[in-house]
Amino acid sequence: MNIRQITCALLCIFTTIVFAQNGNIDVAPKDRFSAEGASWNINGETGNVRIQLRKLTFNHGGNTGTIKLVLFASRTPFKPGASGWPIAESRLGQLNERQFYSNLSKNANLVRPPVGTYYVTLMVQEFYNGQWKIQRSMNGTKTTTFR
């Protein structure tokens, strides 16, 4: 082999290694779900809850597990692992690749937490790999007091 052939061979090997390494870089996965326009109305007198979501999109290939919307009350602003109480929920079903729900409006029954003031968070949960997982959460802008 001459110098030119060796250089070409080394360049091909180097290029292959660089591309192989770039192909293995860990990139944070895109969120499974995106959500827009979340709101809710809790009627403490009647025990009725209305959950509204302008759009809920499944951003991945394949299909989802069962999806549900859960209102969650906690004494501090919600963070993963926070303790609190699910106070309302509504099941939606499943979505296929890149499908979405639009203009969701769901009624649910209120499950009262202990008396007190709470931060309320709307969660999108999915039954995924054998358990319910929080896939998205949207915090309310004010606290709610339960008596």
Helices (H) and strands (E) in the chain, counts: 1, 7
> Where does residue 98 fall: left (phi above 0), alpha (psi -120 to 50 degrees), or beta otherwise?
left
Residue 14 falls inside a structural domain: no
Give, in order, the Cα–Cα distances in Å from 23 to each of 16, 19, 20. 10, 6, 5
The predicted-structure confidence for 34-49, as pLDDT tens digits, reads as follows: 999 999 999 999 999 9
87 pLDDT above the threshold of 60: yes
CA 110 to chain centre: 22
Residue 91 falls inside a structural domain: yes
3-state helix, strand, coil in the chain (%, to 5): 15, 55, 30
Residue 130 falls inside a structural domain: yes
CA dist 133 and 131 (Å) reads 6
The predicted-structure confidence for 4-15, as pLDDT tens digits, reads as follows: 555 444 444 433
Q: What angle (nearest 5°) sits at the alpha carbon of residue 77, between those of residues 72 and 78?
A: 50
Residue 3 falls inside a structural domain: no
Residue 44 falls inside a structural domain: yes
Residue 13 falls inside a structural domain: no
Q: In which element (H, E) is residue 137 found?
A: strand 131-146
132 closest CA partner among 70, 78, 76: 70
Residue 140 falls inside a structural domain: yes
CATH number of the domain enclosing 134: 2.60.40
Q: Give me the number of domains the chain comprises.
A: 1
pLDDT of residue 30: 63
* Domain housing 74: 33-146
pLDDT of residue 20: 32
